[in-house]
Amino acid sequence: MRFTLISFIASVIISLYATPSLFAGAPVIPAPQSAEMTNRPFDKKNLDRVKYVKAKALPAEAYELQIKSNKIIIKSSDEAGRFYAHQTLIQLAEADALYRGVIKDAPRYEWRGFMLDEARHFFGKEQVKKILDLMARYKLNKFHWHLSDDQGWRVEIKAYPELCSVGGIGCHSNPDAPARFYTQDEIREIIAYAAERHIEVIPEIDMPGHATAFTKAFPELGAGHRTVNPANDSLYAVLETIIKELADLFPGRYIHIGGDEVSTQGWRELPGMKDFMENNGIDSYDDIQKCFERRISDIVAAAGKVSIAWDDVIDSGLDKDKTVIHWWRADHPESLKKALENGYKTIISPWDPFYLDYVQDIKCKEGHLVWKQWVNGLDEIYDYKLSDDQLVMGFQANLWTERVISDERLAYMVFPRLIAIAERAWTSQGNLDYDDFLKRLENEYRYLDSIHLYYYDFRDFNHHPEPLK
Ligand code: ACM
């Protein structure tokens, strides 16, 4: 008995004073830059004993998290770094992995984004806020909001109420559905909600193609084939007013001007087009869009914003200091090459593998298949070869919603693939390890269950049966 007591006391003394074991790594997504943890637990009841230290030398969004015996020290140069340190702490606490140690962390890319298309189907602000919450948890920082397309115009413009009252009618699955759109007050509410989570909101108004909702409200400015009429001078006055309102409404740096998949068909027979081409020194129909893009990009710049445009506009001669190229055409690698060679800052979201409307499993019945037998699975996303070019701002996943109607399907298509995107965009190359990611993802499956999210379960196809709408 006496011997047992003595050995117990000795083991307590040893555990208190012996050098603790050190563990590299922490069960957090995205994986941090470095984590040196001990086997000495930190008492959760001290979680609110946090001291903040301003560390000017740390880069934007970076943080150092010291978990001491009875307090926590967070160093960062900005609020975002502080916020991300807390996201890490939350995940550690949930995983019962709060040990004393030091985590040093910083993002690999400044652009870590997600695009939601609410033109094809409208989900509403509660769904958007849910997505923003999850983006923040995984340290994503750009919410690209596709607010206009053929099927609907979704942002209130005070100068032109008909954009929403007429252009907002319908959606992909029902052209007669009552108008759905965000009022400016609702937009401000969402922007503020995002800002509290260190997420910038970028609106997209897609032109000169994908513009049917706009031309429903302004038939005189349309040219058929889902396009506006670039030869009509009144178009630019209307677009200038819209862009000015958007610039006032959205405090971020960027406005996305679209520019993808434009047909020149409707432009060929337009009265006034001959003169427009002559006046602008153009002799090919393909050059009409280039002219339009330069004019819109100037309007955006005059409103104090930087344009982002899909890489279809790569030959439009846009000013590289006022334009970011958004590369999506995985089948046009030369377009990405050209963007970088011509000095454009570039966002990477090729449809293979970063489009989340493409299915994640060959067994899925609904959704795009990449070619016939190829899917945008978790491993494809995780293994995507990254560019280290200084002009690459970062990565983004896009969800087009022609085939996404319900909230369940929205969650099913986005999670957990967006979590893999987040790790790719944040974690440095040397710390990427797919098997380890899958282990850490187990904690996130538990978390997603706890908030009742209808995610796609890569471990068990039947966990959440595929919602077909
Ligand atoms: C796109 O997917 N059309 C940008």
Q: How far is the CA of 260 from the centre of ligand 1 (A)?
A: 6
Cα–Cα distance between 241 and 362 in angstroms, integer? 46
Q: How far is the CA of 311 from the centre of ligand 1 (A)?
A: 9
Q: Which atom of ligand 1 is nearest to the CA of 312?
A: 4
Whether 206 is catalytic: no
Which one from 146, 172, 198, 210 is the annotated catalytic residue? Answer: 210
Residues 318 and 357 in one domain: yes
Residues 218 and 330 in one domain: yes
In a domain, 8, yes or no: no
Residues 96 and 184 in one domain: no
Q: What is the DSSP letter of 98?
A: -
In a domain, 466, yes or no: no
Q: How far is the CA of 241 from the centre of ligand 1 (A)?
A: 25
Q: How far is the CA of 257 from the centre of ligand 1 (A)?
A: 12
Q: Residue 304 CB: number of other CB atoms within 10 A?
A: 11
Pocket of ligand 1 (CB under 6 A): 260-261, 310, 328
In a domain, 467, yes or no: no
List the pLDDT tens digit at each of the 469 positions of the chain.
455 555 655 554 544 444 556 566 799 999 999 999 999 999 989 999 999 999 999 999 999 999 999 999 999 999 999 999 999 999 999 999 999 999 999 999 999 999 999 999 999 999 999 999 999 999 999 999 999 999 999 999 999 999 999 999 999 999 999 999 999 999 999 999 999 999 999 999 999 999 999 999 999 999 999 999 999 999 999 999 999 999 999 999 999 999 999 999 999 989 899 999 999 999 999 999 999 999 999 999 999 999 999 999 999 999 999 999 999 999 999 999 999 999 999 999 999 999 999 999 888 888 776 555 678 999 999 999 888 899 999 999 999 999 999 999 999 999 999 999 999 999 999 999 999 999 999 999 999 999 999 999 999 999 999 999 8
- CATH of residue 397's domain is 3.20.20.80
Cα–Cα distance between 63 and 349 in angstroms, integer? 27
In a domain, 455, yes or no: no
pLDDT at 385: 86
Residues 422 and 276 in one domain: yes
Cα–Cα distance between 436 and 414 in angstroms, integer? 21
In a domain, 441, yes or no: yes
Q: What is the DSSP letter of 90?
A: H
Residues 408 and 282 in one domain: yes
In a domain, 3, yes or no: no
Please say whether the beta carbons of 321 and 310 come within 8 A: no
**Which residue, 105, 138, 156, sits at the end of a domain?**
105
Residues 378 and 231 in one domain: yes
Please say whether the beta carbons of 306 and 253 come within 8 A: yes
Residue 182 to residues 95, 134, 267, 388, Cα–Cα distance (Å):
38, 21, 32, 38
For residue 88, what are the domain limits? Answer: 15-105
- CATH of residue 45's domain is 3.30.379.10
Cα–Cα distance between 140 and 134 in angstroms, integer? 9
* Chain Cα centroid distance, residue 26: 25
In a domain, 117, yes or no: yes
Q: How far is the CA of 243 from the centre of ligand 1 (A)?
A: 21
Residues 122 and 96 in one domain: no
Please say whether the beta carbons of 238 and 292 come within 8 A: no
Q: How far is the CA of 176 from the centre of ligand 1 (A)?
A: 24
Residues 61 and 180 in one domain: no
**Which residue, 88, 105, 122, sits at the end of a domain?**
105
pLDDT at 298: 98
Cα–Cα distance between 169 and 177 in angstroms, integer? 6
Q: How far is the CA of 380 from the centre of ligand 1 (A)?
A: 20
Q: How many domains does the chain have?
A: 2
Mutation choice for ligand 1 from 145, 310, 311, 396, CB with most ligand atoms inside 8 A: 310
Whether 149 is catalytic: yes
Task: Copy the structure tokens of residue 454.
Answer: 């209808």
Q: How far is the CA of 349 from the centre of ligand 1 (A)?
A: 10
- Residue identifier of the C-alpha nearest atom 3 of ligand 1: 260
Residues 204 and 352 in one domain: yes
pLDDT at 16: 46
- Residue identifier of the C-alpha nearest atom 2 of ligand 1: 328
Cα–Cα distance between 38 and 36 in angstroms, integer? 7
Q: Which atom of ligand 1 is nearest to the CA of 400?
A: 2
Q: Which atom of ligand 1 is nearest to the CA of 398?
A: 2
Please say whether the beta carbons of 84 and 40 come within 8 A: no
pLDDT at 21: 60
Q: Which atom of ligand 1 is nearest to the CA of 328?
A: 4
Q: Which atom of ligand 1 is nearest to the CA of 258?
A: 4
Which one from 96, 162, 248, 261 is the annotated catalytic residue? Answer: 261
pLDDT at 142: 98
Mutation choice for ligand 1 from 204, 328, 335, 358, CB with most ligand atoms inside 8 A: 328
**Which residue, 84, 105, 126, sits at the end of a domain?**
105
Q: Which atom of ligand 1 is nearest to the CA of 351?
A: 2
Mutation choice for ligand 1 from 400, 401, 402, 403, CB with most ligand atoms inside 8 A: 400
Q: How far is the CA of 326 from the centre of ligand 1 (A)?
A: 10
pLDDT at 4: 59
Whether 402 is catalytic: no
Residues 175 and 279 in one domain: yes
Residues 97 and 116 in one domain: no
Residues 96 and 199 in one domain: no
Which one from 61, 105, 117, 149 is the annotated catalytic residue? Answer: 149
In a domain, 443, yes or no: yes
Question: 3-state DSSP: the chain helix, strand, coil percent, rounded to 5?
Answer: 40, 20, 40
